[in-house]
Amino acid sequence: MSTEQLAGFAAQLRFEHIPDTVVRKAEDLLVDWFGSALAGKGARPVESIVRFAEGMGGGAGPSEILVHRSGASPYLAAMANAAASHVAEQDDVHNGSVFHPATVVFPVALAAAQTLGASGARLLTAAVAGYEVGIRVGEFLGRSHYKVFHTTGTAGTLAAAATAGQLLGLDAAQMRHAFGSAGTQSAGLWEFLRTAADSKQLHTAHAAGAGLMSAWLARDGFTGAAQILEGPQGLAAGMSSDADPARLADGLGTRWATAETSFKFHASCRHTHPAADALLAVMREHRLQPADIAEVVTHVHQGAIDVLGPVVRPATVHQSKFSMGTVLALVARHGQAGLGEFDRHFQDPAVQALRERVRMELDAEVDQAYPRRWIGKVTVRTTDGRVLRGRVDEPKGDPGNTLSREEINAKALRLAEYSGAATAAEMRSALDRLWGIAQAPSVQRLMPAAA
Amino acid sequence: MSTEQLAGFAAQLRFEHIPDTVVRKAEDLLVDWFGSALAGKGARPVESIVRFAEGMGGGAGPSEILVHRSGASPYLAAMANAAASHVAEQDDVHNGSVFHPATVVFPVALAAAQTLGASGARLLTAAVAGYEVGIRVGEFLGRSHYKVFHTTGTAGTLAAAATAGQLLGLDAAQMRHAFGSAGTQSAGLWEFLRTAADSKQLHTAHAAGAGLMSAWLARDGFTGAAQILEGPQGLAAGMSSDADPARLADGLGTRWATAETSFKFHASCRHTHPAADALLAVMREHRLQPADIAEVVTHVHQGAIDVLGPVVRPATVHQSKFSMGTVLALVARHGQAGLGEFDRHFQDPAVQALRERVRMELDAEVDQAYPRRWIGKVTVRTTDGRVLRGRVDEPKGDPGNTLSREEINAKALRLAEYSGAATAAEMRSALDRLWGIAQAPSVQRLMPAAA
């Protein structure tokens, strides 16, 4: 019954059902995503996928490709924007599902809304449907899944289908068919991390495109499996050994998983954030300088070891965001690990030297709390022989330690400035419209059209 | 090393390397595929995917969508033609890999060749690369994979990437990147069979599109995992428990898996063919009439039970092609189970009654020979109490019991006539060009453009 319940929820959700606090959070997440989408401009893998989308039938259409200010069909625009919004590693994350919702949900919501002429309230409703679905699918697939699969790619197809399906007005039966088509296209393997390949951008593009396609096909009568998630030859049967079907309908309509989503502060893989914040805490408390650090042991959950473990000597900026040692060295030396710190400093000799003095150890308490809570624990040995411990229970950006709207705005402006995707004036105009989107009768272009 | 070897082979294959007999077989397979692609015209799931492709940026372009005679980008045309060519269940199959190569290889080969202006010899070379790669990936992924995954969808992304990559002239390193991008998009679950959903057409469309995209991206510098197939977080790690990396490079350049491919005679799931032919054999030998049959036990491999087992009371023509009982009832009553027999008779009361008297039993000998050999064994109990046994070692269409060029031509004409996709005159013209494609300086449209 689980796929059925989840699909029914996604189809029947209405703006009036969503608590105000959750609508406000959805607006926060939308603005935060917009900055990440613009940040992708100029990144080589992003530009490749955008060129592909434009060359394969895009280049004109009602949905905008943000980084090129071009138009395309919703399918190709969603792929392009999804590729763009995951590369800076600044997009949001839901802890319990280890799933990055924004990068697969909002590209679809924006592209579909622009093509369909939908209102801003419908865009937000669709986004909440996508978050609630994708997060529960991620939780359902469990830790065994995440050991091999990039959950944002796999659960992402369902999130994208829910988003597009909600905007298309699919009924519950059609939504279930859309889920069937989306789940049978779920894909995304971590293997690419080993050689710092570009697949992360492909995974989000794929999830957004496949999910949107599934919803469009369902509207046209195309059918999918009835129990794609929990069935005996479904997603969990093929790609998980600890799936829990009870998670799929967990608190539907009362527990708003959207509101549990965390913003990213550091521009790195989320698995590095708890330790980074814990190191900052211990350095502040004991007024340590980077030169005082002889060794850092980060006490982590197994998922961190699975994802970050293969990255020993990061060769690219993007790979360095998956290097625990690099991230800790950057925060130790610069107080934060933002886009600029990675670009300018990830190969500094001092950063490399400190990187080599950081190691990960599996920690029973941290591992048990994960993925519901992402506890940061570090042990620092100083050059003068002291052993100091640091801890944070909620890394910066988590719901209990969240970003203010001023911080979200500032982050979006920083990201657009970083990539050169928009001027400050263009950003102010777009951000004004985004903060007021709940009142917009239809979703218009966010960027001026290309000259 | 295995992904590397396979990618190197796919990149470096040249027309001159391919033995004449294999080139002739590739021509046979191309013509056989063409008939299946046309047979999809008018099928509801096919038309949905074609409409999607046309609506999302297709409708004009250098690659033809065969069933609509429209043009599109190679990406969207490949998706549309791949959706079309698997629905009649008449496309080819490679026994050892349980993989249907034509439906994911030729749509990509045709679409890419038409856009790139490639010669017919290059199209054939690319198709052989696709067959050799896809078949080996299917063999590598093994039986555990096929229990849950539709290998044509999963291995199909690699086959499609090899095909497109060969036509794009990728070097070995680029081809490996294309494989990485293709493998990380591999998807396709059997769950849809349980409710007779449309996913099979989506799987082939997805594989063709994702594979072609991967090759196009690789030409543009986009990178993929180096060991997507055998790596610790690669395709086999996530989606197989009995993968054998030795199969990936098995006999590359000396063993031509393309030539091992079987044509389909009956218009049903290949798992039904050995038993169907064995039943025909015993009926012929003992001059049985359908009314003489009290019960048929088919002695099958486990894969047949996995795929056909869920289909108990077929509700649609397509689902009935996965019903062992229906297929055997049709061949018992009509001498064959072709498209017309399914359409007109799958719900005849006499067919349904006979269907209920057919059951499957796992057979040790058959299961052990599978998937290398697909042995057909049946035990028939007659109404007058005799127990008769029938056996075929190579079902009709296998390399040792293959179709002649006349039979292939006749089959293609039947398929086009069945769907109304082309007149006999149009078919004669297209078939003439296809049989002579090795000499064509460039691949032209096969069908007249839509009026």
pLDDT over 90 (residue B159): yes
pLDDT over 90 (residue B73): yes
Residue A195: pLDDT band (50, 70, 90) is very high
pLDDT digits (tens, 9 = 90+) for B385-405: 999 999 999 999 999 999 999
In chain B, the residue whose alpha carbon lies closest to the alpha carbon of A78 is B56
pLDDT digits (tens, 9 = 90+) for A255-282: 999 999 999 988 999 999 999 999 999 9
Give B22→chain A minimum CA distance, Å: 33
Residues in chain A with CB shorter than 8 Å from the CB of B185 are 187-188, 202, 206
Fold of A270-392: 60s Ribosomal Protein L30; Chain: A; (3.30.1330)
pLDDT digits (tens, 9 = 90+) for A312-349: 899 999 899 999 999 999 999 999 898 889 999 999 99
- Name the pTM for this structure: 0.93
Residues in chain A with CB shorter than 8 Å from the CB of B319 are none
Can you give the pLDDT at residue B311?
87
pLDDT over 90 (residue B42): yes
Q: Is residue B299 helix, strand or coil?
A: strand
pLDDT digits (tens, 9 = 90+) for B90-124: 999 999 999 999 999 999 999 999 999 999 999 99
CB atoms within 10 A of CB A399: 13
User: Which amino acid belongs to residue A418?
Assistant: Y
Asked if A276 and A155 touch (Cβ cutoff 8 Å), the reply is no
Main-chain phi, psi angles of B163, to 5 degrees: -65, -50
User: Which amino acid belongs to residue A49?
Assistant: I
Q: Is residue A295 helix, strand or coil?
A: strand
Residues in chain A with CB shorter than 8 Å from the CB of B306 are 233
CB within 8 Å: A197 and B225 = yes
> What percentage of chain A has pLDDT greater than the value 90?
94
Q: Which of A52, A227, A238 sits opposite B216 (nearest CB)?
A: A52
Spatial distance between the Cα atoms of A76 and B54, rounded to a whole number of angstroms:
12
Mean pLDDT calculated for residue range B191-220: 97
Asked if A386 and A274 touch (Cβ cutoff 8 Å), the reply is no
Residue A351: pLDDT band (50, 70, 90) is very high
CB within 8 Å: B238 and A194 = no
In chain A, the residue whose alpha carbon lies closest to the alpha carbon of B241 is A238
pLDDT digits (tens, 9 = 90+) for A62-75: 999 999 999 999 99
Spatial distance between the Cα atoms of B296 and B328, rounded to a whole number of angstroms:
9
Asked if A94 and A136 touch (Cβ cutoff 8 Å), the reply is no
User: Which amino acid belongs to residue B363?
Assistant: D
pLDDT digits (tens, 9 = 90+) for B337-383: 988 899 999 999 999 999 999 999 999 999 999 988 999 999 999 99
Q: Which of A49, A187, A310 sits opposite B217 (nearest CB)?
A: A49
Q: Which of B57, B222, B234 sits opposite A198 (nearest CB)?
A: B222
Looking at domain A2-264+407-439, what is its CATH homologous superfamily?
Answer: 2-methylcitrate dehydratase PrpD (1.10.4100.10)
Residues in chain A with CB shorter than 8 Å from the CB of B55 are 73, 216
Question: In this structure, which CATH number among 2.60.40.60, 3.30.930.10, 3.90.1150.10, 1.10.4100.10 belongs to the domain B2-264+406-439?
Answer: 1.10.4100.10
> What percentage of chain B has pLDDT greater than the value 70?
100
Asked if A120 and A142 touch (Cβ cutoff 8 Å), the reply is no
pLDDT digits (tens, 9 = 90+) for A70-129: 999 999 999 999 999 999 989 999 999 999 999 999 999 999 999 999 999 999 999 999
Spatial distance between the Cα atoms of B130 and B356, rounded to a whole number of angstroms:
40
Residues in chain B with CB shorter than 8 Å from the CB of A74 are 56
Mean pLDDT calculated for residue range A394-400: 93
Can you give the pLDDT at residue B200?
97
Structure tokens at A89: 């590693």
Q: Which of A56, A72, A203 sits opposite B76 (nearest CB)?
A: A56
CB within 8 Å: B192 and A55 = no
User: Which amino acid belongs to residue A275?
Assistant: A
Residues in chain A with CB shorter than 8 Å from the CB of B148 are 233, 237-238
User: Which amino acid belongs to residue A346?
Assistant: F
Spatial distance between the Cα atoms of B207 and A185, rounded to a whole number of angstroms:
9
Q: Pairing state of beta strands B293-300 and B358-362? A: parallel
Mean pLDDT calculated for residue range B41-67: 94
| Crossing angle between the packed helical segments A172-183 and A2-12, to the nearest 10 degrees | 120
The continuous run of DSSP H or E covering B288 comes out as: none
Can you give the pLDDT at residue B371?
87
Spatial distance between the Cα atoms of B337 and B317, rounded to a whole number of angstroms:
12
Asked if A347 and A330 touch (Cβ cutoff 8 Å), the reply is no
Can you give the pLDDT at residue A1?
62
The number of residues in chain A equals: 451
Q: Which of B48, B61, B147 sits opposite A217 (nearest CB)?
A: B48
CB within 8 Å: B197 and A45 = no
Can you give the pLDDT at residue B318?
87
pLDDT digits (tens, 9 = 90+) for A201-227: 999 999 999 999 999 999 999 999 999
CB atoms within 10 A of CB B394: 18
Q: Which of A51, A198, A222 sits opposite B223 (nearest CB)?
A: A198
Q: Which of B223, B235, B305 to mutate to test the interface with A (most CBs of A within 10 A)?
A: B223
The continuous run of DSSP H or E covering A376 comes out as: strand A376-382
Residues in chain B with CB shorter than 8 Å from the CB of A153 are 184
Residues of chain B with CATH 3.30.1330.120: 270-392
Asked if A101 and A79 touch (Cβ cutoff 8 Å), the reply is no
Can you give the pLDDT at residue B144?
95
Q: To 5 degrees, how large is the angle CA B125–CA B3–CA B216? A: 55
Q: Which of B2, B56, B70 to mutate to test the interface with A (most CBs of A within 10 A)?
A: B56
Asked if A127 and A106 touch (Cβ cutoff 8 Å), the reply is yes
CB within 8 Å: B239 and A239 = yes
CB burial class (10 A; 0-12, 13-18, 19+) of residue A281? middle
DSSP, res A93: B
Give B9→chain A minimum CA distance, Å: 21
Strand partners, A94: A99
Give B134→chain A minimum CA distance, Å: 18
Can you give the pLDDT at residue A336?
87
Can you give the pLDDT at residue B185?
98
pLDDT over 70 (residue B451): no
CB within 8 Å: B202 and A222 = yes
CB within 8 Å: B238 and A189 = yes
Can you give the pLDDT at residue B1?
62
Spatial distance between the Cα atoms of B280 and B335, rounded to a whole number of angstroms:
7
Residues in chain B with CB shorter than 8 Å from the CB of A215 are none
Spatial distance between the Cα atoms of B147 and B334, rounded to a whole number of angstroms:
32
CB atoms within 10 A of CB B379: 16
Residue B33: pLDDT band (50, 70, 90) is very high
Residue B59: pLDDT band (50, 70, 90) is confident
CB within 8 Å: B57 and A52 = no
Residues of chain A with CATH 1.10.4100.10: 2-264+407-439
CA A261 to chain centre: 10
Can you give the pLDDT at residue B75?
98
CA distances (Å), origin A307, targets A86, A192, A360, B386 = 16, 11, 12, 63
Mean pLDDT calculated for residue range A340-369: 96
Residues in chain B with CB shorter than 8 Å from the CB of A73 are 55-57
Can you give the pLDDT at residue A372?
86
Report ipTM (2 d.p.).
0.92
Cβ-proximal residues to A175 (8 Å cutoff; 6+ apart), any chain: A7, A8, A10, A11, A161, A162, A165, A215, A218
Asked if B49 and A217 touch (Cβ cutoff 8 Å), the reply is yes
Residues in chain A with CB shorter than 8 Å from the CB of B225 are 189, 191-192, 194-195, 197, 199
Residue A451: pLDDT band (50, 70, 90) is low
